[in-house]
Amino acid sequence: MTELDSANRSWTLISAETETWRLASDGKKCVKNQTSVLMAAESTAAPKLQFSPFFSALEAGFWHQLTQKKLNDYHLDESPKNIKGYYYNGDPDGLPTRLTLEFSAFDADGPTPARCCPAPGTLYNTNTLEAFKTTDKKALLDKAADEIWSAIQSGAALDDSSILNKFILLTFADLKKYHFYYWFCFPALCFLEGVQLVQEPRSLEKSFSDTQISSLTAAYDSLCSSSGTTALPHFLMKYTDDSVEVAPLKDLNAFFPDLKKIAVCVYDPCTLPQHPGWPLRNLLFLIAKTWGSQLDVLEVLCFRDRTLQGSRSVRHSIIFRVKLPDLSVSAVCPKSVGWEKNPKGAMGPRSVNLSECMDPKRLAESSVDLNLKLMRWRLVPSLDLDKVVSTKCLLLGAGTLGCNVARTLMGWGVRHITFVDNAKISYSNPVRQPLYEFEDCLSGGKAKALAAVDRLQKIFPGVNAEGHNMSIPMPGHPVSFSESTTAQARHDVEQLEKLISEHDVVFLLMDTRESRWLPTVIAASQRKLIVNAALGFDTFVVMRHGLKKAKEPQSEESSPMSASSSSSCSSTPASTVTPGASLFSNIPGHRLGCYFCNDVVAPGDSTRDRTLDQQCTVSRPGLAMIAGALAVELMVSVLQHPEGGYAVASSSDDRMNEPPTSLGLVPHQIRGFLARFDNVLPASLAFDKCTACSQVVLENYEREGFQFLAKVFNSSHSFLEDLTGLTLLHQETQAAEIWDMSDDDSI
């Protein structure tokens, strides 16, 4: 380090702006700026040579290959391995002096990229972080330095001078986290007193004539080709005014008749105008050891050979003269340095976290995200993907509809999916319910809600899925058999209320009509968007429930019925679908009806259920996929509308108009008729006597809570019909059917 003390005194830093990066050589206080002007103060002691150290540069492929080697080859073997790096002398200004390791680094005998010089390395890959920490770094460096020194002493380094560029790489690969810890060492033997500059570095174009430069280039190319290579790490040079000759390093004695003044060339990866790169250090040692006794002054050419836009130049090479100490009698391995600094400039290891590109789970997440972003890019800037991806979806029902809805949600990148179902997987399920397999049916079958979660996580580990194996209390299905059944029902209601409050969108995907009643009431009260899908044999309805205005009394609706059919089965009484009915156009979201608004009977009396939903549990197999997919796409379209669930309902008529969102229409309902391969988009108003979403029902629920709900569960359907005024309506309209009458709680 004394080799630089005097240098520091004699160099003056004039300007230090427009930094690209700073380079720390092996000496103290050698931080200099590449674009700054460095001037030698000539009056002081002769300056000493400073070197620009290597920076390690690793391709992503190197880490991938190390992982493969560790897993398939090395296992627990910690013995040193031969690897290979390379460096290049053709960089444009502004790039750091690099030693590069690619995925091919493990093929130590493999080819080196054209015009690059190979550097042999030793890899020490430890099995534990502890071993990485405790490995004796000084011993590793000393060992490598000793090898270099021995090769210099024996003369082996003359025949193959690449040993001078030997490096060490210490690694620990944490393959659970895909974190890699590493530390490079580029061993350099140190002259105790430094290397004294006799003539300061200057560019070749200032020292050589054009003739000399082209002669040098030609001689170098010719030596390369006769050596069967495209880059020479070291060579010799002698010149006259009009010609330059070069020769291999080992021919030194024959090439120079007079050894007092010789010129050596080093393939130099550095681009700094005043400093040679690291590879020169050990070469100087080789020369000092081998010829130091005869040598007076050594001329050094740092050969830099770049081609920019097809035009080759070596003119920016630098040339200078040094006085080397005589080491010819020295027998002890000199002191050495070379461990690389970490990015903070301290002596310490580096680390890289490659989980993003190596962890299969992270890869799956980023691929899914990317595919969605591509869709957004095509629709830039209007598609708000985050709105979709961050939506928390509650799926009530994990059967045919639930499975298909979940898969479509995953396709949209929705991460938060919760299932509620109380059924077990039966043998008939897997062929229609794409989240289940045969194995899931064995031993009585797994709980659907839980098995669905497992499968989602297998499909995409990044999903945040949850399953609740629970029942949803239903109107007309008494819970009052015992205290415990009542307590259970109370618990189920509380659980459902909690789940609905924790989610943004509730999907009604059950296979019975009455099970949709409770979530409809709760979600309406909590102002949560409901997307409802129901199947007939070859018909379906997918709809969004109207979203009540926040905390405002519901305005009275005079329109008793909607223009659309009342149920999904084509044989229901109100199947008076009139596509394109303009009477009900432009209904705002808060006035739209729910699934029960179209009904003139309350849900619940399963023995007398007048709808055919339950009888229609067998539907054409494609229907659930179509309806499930449409349910999700409807949700996404609603989310894209600036008013969300309050968006005015699009109707079939609007198909010709400018769509309200970047994804198109936002209908209230999609009713599909598979027999005709046709869909219509009816919209209907909320019904003031609706058994689920009318004001009186919501008021009773909000006032009495479970007390009210229990009455609904325990009573026949007439309870709700009386409450809402349906009974009266029936009487007035002389409904032909015979109803179970009850005076309780009539209004």
Partner 1 sequence: MMAGERSPASCYLDERTFRLCCRLFLQHSETIQDGWSWEQIKGTDEGFMKKTVLLPVKSSVLHKQHGCFMQAENMDLLTDDIQANVEDETAGVQAVCEIHAVLRYEYHVLYSCSYQIPVLYFRASTLDGNPLSLEEVWSNVHPNYRQRLQQGPWDTLTQQEHPLLGQPFFMLHPCRTEEFMKPALDLAQAENKRVNYIVSWLSVVGPVVGLDVPLSYCTEVSAPD
Residues between 356 and 375 with contacts to partner 1, criterion CB under 8 A: 356-357, 363, 366-367, 370-371, 373-374
How many residues touch partner 1 under the rule CB under 8 A: the total is: 76
Q: Which segment (198-206, 339-347, 435-443, 562-570) binds partner 1 by CB under 8 A?
A: 339-347
| Chosen from partner 1, Zn ion, none, partner binding at 683 (C-beta under 5 to 8 Å by type) | none
CB of 319 closer than 8 Å to CB of 270: no
CA distances from 580 to 405, 585, 670 (A): 28, 9, 13
Q: How far is the CB of 578 from Zn ion (least distance, A)?
A: 20
Residue list 66-105, contact with partner 1 (CB under 8 A): 90-91, 94-96, 98, 103
Task: Tell me, residue by residue from 163 to 192, as one string, x for binding to partner 1 by CB under 8 A and - for no binding.
Answer: ----------------x-x-----------
Alpha-carbon distance of 76 to 646, in angstroms, equals 62
- The catalytically annotated residue of 117, 616, 690, 693 is 616
**Can you say how many angstroms the Cα of residue 287 is from the centroid of all Cα atoms in its chain?**
52
Among 594, 666, 680, 685, binds Zn ion (CB under 5 A): 594
Q: Cα(182)–Cα(172) distance, rounded to whole angstroms?
A: 6
Which C-beta is closer to Zn ion: that of 324 or that of 690?
690
CB burial of residue 197 (10 Å; 0-12, 13-18, 19+): buried
Q: Which is nearer to Zn ion, 350 or 549 (CB)?
A: 549
Return the number of the residue (212 or 366) whose C-beta is nearest partner 1: 366
Residue 587, interface with Zn ion (CB under 5 A)?
no
Distance between CA atoms of 378 and 389, rounded to whole angstroms?
A: 17
Q: Out of partner 1, Zn ion, none, which partner does residue 621 contact, by CB within 5 to 8 A per kind?
A: none
- DSSP H or E stretch at residue 198: strand 196-203
- Judged by beta carbon distances under 5 to 8 A according to partner kind, the member of partner 1, Zn ion, none in contact with residue 690 is Zn ion
At closest approach, how far in Å is the CB of 236 from partner 1? 25
**Binding positions for partner 1, 374-413, rule CB under 8 A:** 374, 377-378, 380
Residues 632-661 that bind Zn ion (CB under 5 A): none
Residue 373 contact among partner 1, Zn ion, none, beta carbon within 5 to 8 Å by kind: partner 1
Q: Does 277 bind partner 1 (CB under 8 A)?
A: no
Residues 6+ apart with CB under 8 A from 26: 1, 4, 50, 51, 53, 188, 190, 337, 338
For residue 341, how far is the Cα from the chain centroid?
A: 29
Cis preceding linkage at 381, omega within 30? yes
* Cβ–Cβ under 8 Å, residues 710 and 486: yes
Residues 2-21 that bind partner 1 (CB under 8 A): 19-21
- N residues, the chain: 747
Q: Using the rule CB under 5 A, which residue among 690, 698, 709, 723 binds Zn ion? A: 690
Q: Binding Zn ion by CB under 5 A: which of 272, 693, 710, 720?
A: 693
How many angstroms separate the CA atoms of 187 and 142, rounded?
Answer: 8
Q: What's the min distance (Å) between Cβ of 741 and Zn ion?
A: 23
- Please state, in angstroms and rounded to a whole number, the distance separating the CA atoms of residues 493 and 705: 10
Min dist CB 135 to partner 1, Å, is 8
524 belongs to the binding site for Zn ion (CB under 5 A): no
The answer to the question of residue 406 lying near Zn ion (CB under 5 A) is no
SS (H, E, C) 586-654: CCCHHHECCCCCCCCCCCCCCCCCCCCCHHHCCCCHHHHHHHHHHHHHHHHHHHHCCCHHHCCCECHHH
| Site pattern 557..596 for partner 1 (x: CB under 8 A) | ----------------------------------------
Distance from C-alpha of 309 to C-alpha of 378, rounded to nearest angstrom: 35
CB of 15 within 8 A of CB of 37?
Answer: yes
Subset of 31-50 contacting partner 1 (CB under 8 A): 31
Distances 349 to 27, 141, 260, 340, 536 between C-alpha atoms, Å: 19, 15, 43, 8, 66
Partner interacting with residue 337 (select from partner 1, Zn ion, none; CB below 5-8 Å by kind): partner 1
How many C-beta neighbours within 10 Å does residue 361 have? Answer: 12
**Cβ atoms 672, 535 nearer than 8 A:** no
| Residue 106: closest CA among 127, 82, 88 | 82
597 binds, among partner 1, Zn ion, none (CB under 5 to 8 A by kind): Zn ion
For Zn ion, give the closer residue by CB, 404 or 520.
520
Query: Is residue 630 part of the contact set for Zn ion (CB under 5 A)?
Result: no
* From Zn ion, partner 1, none, interface partner of 364 (C-beta below 5 to 8 A by class): none
Q: Are strands 297-303 and 392-396 parallel, antiparallel or unpaired?
A: unpaired
User: Is residue 596 near Zn ion by the rule CB under 5 A?
Assistant: yes
Active-site annotation holds for 190: no
Among 236, 246, 597, 726, binds Zn ion (CB under 5 A): 597
Among partner 1, Zn ion, none, what does residue 357 contact (CB within 5–8 Å per kind)? partner 1
Distances (CA, A) of 740 to 333, 690, 720, 721, 730: 107, 18, 12, 10, 12
Q: Measured between alpha carbons, how far is 216 from 208 in angstroms, rounded to an integer?
A: 10
Picked from partner 1, Zn ion, none, the partner binding residue 110 (CB below 5 to 8 A depending on kind) is partner 1
Measured from the CB atom, the residue of 293 and 382 that comes closer to partner 1 is: 382
Q: Is 701 in the site for Zn ion (CB under 5 A)?
A: no
Where does this chain touch Zn ion (CB under 5 A) — which range of 242-250, 461-469, 606-614, 690-698? 690-698
Residue 371 binds which of Zn ion, partner 1, none (CB < 5-8 A, kind-dependent): partner 1
Q: Is 155 in the site for partner 1 (CB under 8 A)?
A: no
Query: How far is the C-alpha of 504 from the C-alpha of 417, rounded, in Å?
Result: 11
Quick one: DSSP state of residue 344? Answer: T
Instruction: Tell me the two tokens of residue 293.
Output: 């006794």
Is residue 193 a contact residue for partner 1 (CB under 8 A)? no
* 31 closest CA partner among 55, 13, 54: 13
Give the Cα separation of 165 and 283 in Å (integer). Answer: 9
Q: Would you say 151 or 726 has its CB closer to Zn ion?
A: 726
Contact status, residue 578 vs residue 651, Cβ threshold 8 Å = no
- Interface residue with partner 1 among 42, 72, 76, 114 (CB under 8 A) is 114
Q: Where on the chain is the footprint of Zn ion (CB under 5 A)?
A: 594, 596-597, 690, 692-693
Which residues belong to the active site? 616
